């Protein structure tokens, strides 16, 4: 099999994962897209390992060893990432990335006059009232 077939498939998988990371708002779908990107990298590592081992006639298989490390890192990433997403969902009630970013910056969109106030300004306004 030619090297072009797995390389093109890997590029398509990686681009699909990149689109998922950039376009999705749900944190779990972003984590799934990152996993898709890591699987594209794994496919590339194995394909180039097979191609280089045929060319150099070596039996080192360093690409397959790197693939095992990538799988281990991906498993740890998804475990920690899901734990963080679940903890944030319990505390905030949403896993929407845009809403989480807005609350992390301290902006509130529901001011009494329709204006945008930071959390500190809202607390000062409530203390003086």
| Tens of pLDDT, residues 22-73 | 998 888 899 999 999 999 999 999 999 888 887 776 677 888 899 999 999 9
| Tens of pLDDT, residues 60-97 | 788 889 999 999 999 999 999 999 999 988 988 888 88
| Phi, psi for 117 (deg, rounded to 5) | -125, 150
pLDDT of residue 122: 55
pLDDT of residue 42: 95
């Amino acid at each position: 099999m030619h090297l072009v077939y797995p390389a093109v498939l890997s590029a398509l998988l990686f681009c699909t994962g990149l689109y998922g990371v950039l376009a999705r708002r749900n944190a779990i779908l972003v984590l799934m897209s990152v996993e898709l990107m890591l699987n594209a990298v794994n496919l590339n590592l194995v394909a180039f390992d097979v191609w280089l081992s045929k060319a150099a006639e070596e039996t080192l298989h360093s690409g397959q060893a790197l693939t095992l490390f990538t799988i281990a890192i991906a498993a740890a990433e998804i475990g920690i990432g899901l734990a963080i997403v679940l903890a944030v969902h319990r505390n905030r009630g949403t896993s929407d990335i845009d809403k989480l970013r807005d609350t992390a910056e301290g902006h509130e969109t529901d001011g009494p006059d329709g204006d945008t106030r930071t959390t500190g300004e809202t607390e000062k306004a409530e203390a003086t009232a």
